[in-house]
Amino acid sequence: MNKDQAYHQIALACLKTLRSGNAASNEDTAKALYESIDAAFEQQFALVLAELQDSQARLNAIKHLDPNRHSLADALEIIDHNGTAH
């Protein structure tokens, strides 16, 4: 996910909170908005963490390739494999 998509998701969470209108006061609205922003950032952080873990696994797989049995093409195949769910 790129930066623009992440910001868009966070903005949508904020708008949803503001449109709900369930808060009794401005302070409640601000608190609800902060909670919404926090939840959206946590979701984005989870995606970044998943991408990092995937990258680490790919690098580890490349590191353990046997140069006598594997080629650069094998490493490129590991890099190009698209196994991410997001």
Q: What is the mean pLDDT of each run of 10 residues along the chain (86 residues)?
A: 81 83 71 86 90 94 95 93 58
Give the total number of structural domains in the chain. Answer: 1
Q: What is the pLDDT of residue 85?
A: 46
On whether residue 85 sits in a domain, the answer given is no
- The half-sphere exposure of 10 on its side-chain side, counting CA atoms within 13 A, is 18
CA distances from 4 to 7, 69, 79 (A): 5, 42, 24
Which are the contacts of 14, defined by CB distance < 8 A and separation ≥ 6? 33, 36, 37, 40
Assign 68 to helix, strand or coil: coil
Cα separation of 44 and 3, whole Å? 10
Considering the entire predicted model, what is its pTM? 0.61
* Domain of residue 33, residue span: 3-80
Would 52 be classed as within a structural domain?
yes
